[in-house]
């Protein structure tokens, strides 16, 4: 596995709610901070207006410390998909996407993460240990999947409580 190949991971939950009930939650860029141990929150740099809107996000990792990124909305399909590229649209450090698919009894919500191909803190770790690139990427994917699971389960719980 190589960062230049932009490895991805995703997970899906079934939610007993209509897509239009899920949409406001996945487009709330601060909401994941309620569930994630790493993402501390975000705020719009410019008011959300769909594609091209930008926001600042803050994160923390015990081994790295705290950092801030600027992201750009690159996917915006109301009640279907919302996604953003971190740092650069052309060479993102990561791309995060929520996908909603209508189902007979509600909807499925998929949360997808793509690492790279652009530079990030992960790049620095790989540069220090290029022989361990596969292990470094896999460890990061595993860490992120834990956080992603907390976010989608949190969204599911919020929507289904209504």
110, 1 contact by CB (below 8 A): no
Contacts for 139 with CB less than 8 Å, ≥ 6 apart: none
In the DSSP assignment, the letter for residue 53 is -
List the strands of the sheet with 81-86, edge to edge: 8-15, 106-115, 94-103, 81-86, 65-77, 54-61, 39-44
Answer yes or no: is pLDDT of 8 > 90: yes
> Looking at per-residue confidence, does 149 or 62 come out higher?
149
SS (H, E, C) 9-50: EEEEEEECCCHHHHHHHHCCCCHHHHCCCCEEEEEECCCCCC
**Closest-CA residue to 131 (of 2, 13, 18):** 2
Q: What is the pLDDT of residues 96-107, one digit of tens each?
A: 999 999 999 999
**Separation between Cα atoms, residue 86 and residue 128, nearest integer Å:** 22
Query: Span 139-149, mean pLDDT?
Result: 96
Query: Span 90-100, mean pLDDT?
Result: 97
Angle CA(155)–CA(23)–CA(45) in degrees, nearest 5?
95
pLDDT of residue 38: 93
**CB atoms inside a 10 Å sphere around CB 136:** 19
Q: What is the pTM of this model?
A: 0.94
In the predicted model, what is the mean pLDDT of the chain? 94
Q: What is the pLDDT of residues 32-80, one digit of tens each?
A: 999 999 999 999 997 776 899 999 999 999 888 899 999 999 999 999 9
**Separation between Cα atoms, residue 92 and residue 103, nearest integer Å:** 32
Confidence of residue 162 (pLDDT cuts 50, 70, 90): confident
């Amino acid at each position: 596995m190589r960062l230049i190949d932009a490895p991805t991971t995703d997970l899906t939950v079934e939610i007993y709610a209509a897509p239009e009930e899920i949409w406001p939650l996945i487009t709330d860029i601060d909401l994941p901070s309620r569930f994630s141990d790493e993402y501390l929150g975000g705020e719009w740099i410019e008011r959300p207006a769909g594609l091209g809107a930008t926001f600042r996000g803050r994160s923390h990792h015990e081994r790295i410390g705290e950092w801030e990124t600027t992201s750009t909305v690159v996917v915006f399909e109301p009640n279907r998909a919302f996604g953003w590229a971190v740092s650069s649209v052309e060479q993102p450090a990561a791309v995060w996407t929520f996908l909603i698919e209508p189902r007979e009894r509600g909807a499925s919500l998929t949360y997808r993460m793509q690492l790279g191909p652009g530079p990030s803190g992960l790049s620095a770790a790989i540069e220090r240990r290029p022989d361990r690139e596969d292990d470094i990427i896999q460890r990061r994917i595993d860490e992120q999947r834990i956080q992603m699971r907390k976010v989608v389960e949190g969204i599911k719980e919020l929507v289904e409580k209504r």
